[in-house]
Structure 1
Amino acid sequence: MLGHHAQDYAASLIHEAVQEVDATVVAQLRHFQYVIQVVVSDTEHLKEVIAQAGDKPFDEIQHGIEKVFADLLEELKEQGNVSLVIRKAEEAFIRLGVQHGVPENQLRTHLDLIVKHVEDIVVTVGDLAEQHPILLETLIVSGIMLIIPESWFLRPLFGLFGMSTEGPVAGSAAAWAQGRFYGAYIPKGSWFSHLQRAGMKGASRWIW
């Protein structure tokens, strides 16, 4: 239910934004929205593969992802190459999945599609935020809201690029991404107003 509220609210933010920009930016915003929806769908399929093929409870791999990606942030300090960060994340996740009994070929089949689109999203957001800084809050808030249905994987993955409400680790890949792509962060307190508008009061702990 929270996921539906979040996605409806994200759609409303993007709808408001397209009323204020030119046709080129509208196309970029629509592309951003569409690609995130594709990523969410692909990640849902990935979850099904893991749940069916894995030899341990799904919760275990979810906790493992958070640790693996936190370690990856430390490893990728000062790294400014989007493609490299994406590939490192993919390989780290595959190693984790194989440890939990999921065949590598199945993981790669699904992950190759996901990471390609994630790279597209990161670059699109960066370009839009650089050209139209006023769109930054809409992009970050709507992006995070849209990935909520599959946040078990997408939240820590996008977190590598600073697309998070928690702020980047100094000197990390996320800190680099904040400066290179996103600029200043959304003030933490403003998230409560977004949650209230989305009809998701009290959901901040669940989301972040």
Structure 2
Amino acid sequence: MRLIAFSWAVTITVLFFLSGVASIRGSDTVAKRSSITSFTDNKSQASHVDDFLRYTSIFGGAKQKFLDIVKGRLEHSNFDFWKHAESLGKKMHTYTDSLLKDAASQVSSASGRIEDVKNTMHTLVSAAAHFEAAVIAHAKEGTTLEAISEDLDSAFAPILEELQKMFPSPDEATHHAERNRTIYTILAKVEDAIVRVGIKHGMNEEDLRKHIDQINIHVAKVVVLVGDLSEQHPILRDTMIFAVVTMLVPESWILKPLLRIFGFGPRGPIKGTPVSWAQRYFYGAAVRKGSWFSHLQRAGMTVVPPGTGKKVIGGVGAGVGIGLSFMRC
């Protein structure tokens, strides 16, 4: 059985490789791919698996199993959303602005609140930047923002566990008044956690609380706005969550762990994760699977010329992925 499985793995790998070679013959641009290429390669892998299995019947009823295995590995093993979002730089912001404009045009009655979300996020990022300057000026020598961010993640972990017990995921998004109460309950716990981390790194408690208060005011507003929009216009939910995530990137060292508590982060649909819980609690449902990848791919389309070098890498990767799945069955 293992010998047969290995034979299939080799056959599939060769087929994908030859298909990829044919598609880019004569191209000399492979070496010029940007960092986003690795991401688009992953997406093309899943696409090639779909195409290959659609036009063949050698796997019979096992088709869906192999698709799930390969796509699951591509989406959740080596994909770093934050790294790719940051690498896109201005392209990411341009794409997000376009996304919000489209949302406002589709739901004109929500255009004012969509603009409020955008403006509040800009103010929040500015407040986080002022906090960053204070950290750099007053923290212990040798302290890095990355170290503080990691400590915040650790400090928030027990809070997230406690919150999931205190506020079980409802069948639908919480309503405005309940959402407000919950947010401020959470922010009180978060503030104390940030203060503990800041003191550990040499910051003064009074200064810490001043900066955190400014940050929390805008965090609360963003969560309420996005929650209200999601409740009244569920079609906007995924767009608004994604937009908030991309806008926090400049100050992700603090905003990423902080806003993750309120569901602003990728991988929401994975059952049992804090982000999935928060998205269901505050916004009614988790962001659709695959949407984070799709958004980043569209945002970075102009970075990599279509069809350049993607099929060879994608073909080999997908073939090997399926082969490994066979071997482990």
Query: Matched residues, percent identical?
Result: 38
- The aligned amino acid for 2:157 is A
Contact 1:83 1:119 in 2 (8 A): yes
1:190 aligned onto 2:291: yes
Structure 1 segments, 4+ long, off by >6 Å, are: none
1:101 aligned onto 2:186: no
Contact 1:54 1:101 in 2 (8 A): yes
**What residue in structure 2 maps to residue 61 of structure 1?**
148
Counterparts in 2 of 1:4 and 1:107: CA distance versus 1, 3 Å: farther
1:21 aligned onto 2:107: yes
Contact 1:65 1:93 in 2 (8 A): yes
Contact 1:36 1:146 in 2 (8 A): yes
1:33 aligned onto 2:118: yes
Deviations 1:148-195 (A, max 9, x none): 1111111111111122212277396x5553233222222332222211
Alignment of 1:85-96 (within 5 A): 85-96=186-197
Alignment of 1:158-177 (within 5 A): 158-167=259-268, 170=272, 176-177=277-278
Counterparts in 2 of 1:169 and 1:189: CA distance versus 1, 3 Å: closer
Q: CA deviation at 1:122?
A: 0.6
1:11 aligned onto 2:112: no
Counterparts in 2 of 1:50 and 1:169: CA distance versus 1, 3 Å: farther
Q: Which has the higher contact order (CA 8 A, sep 6+)?
A: 2
Counterparts in 2 of 1:3 and 1:103: CA distance versus 1, 3 Å: farther
Q: In 2, distance between residues paired with 1:151 and 1:3?
A: 13
Deviations 1:85-136 (A, max 9, x none): 0111111001110111011122111110110110111111111001000001
Determine which structure has more spread, i.e. the larger CA radius of gyration. 2
**What residue in structure 2 maps to residue 43 of structure 1?**
128
Paired positions, count: 200
Q: How does the TM-score come out when normalised to structure 2?
A: 0.57
- The aligned amino acid for 1:11 is D
Counterparts in 2 of 1:2 and 1:52: CA distance versus 1, 3 Å: farther
Counterparts in 2 of 1:188 and 1:175: CA distance versus 1, 3 Å: closer
Q: CA deviation at 1:71?
A: 2.4
Q: How does the TM-score come out when normalised to structure 1?
A: 0.87
Unaligned runs of 5+ in 1: 203-208
Q: In 2, distance between residues paired with 1:110 and 1:184?
A: 32
Contact 1:6 1:148 in 2 (8 A): no
Q: In 2, distance between residues paired with 1:106 and 1:116?
A: 16
**What residue in structure 1 maps to residue 22 of structure 2?**
none
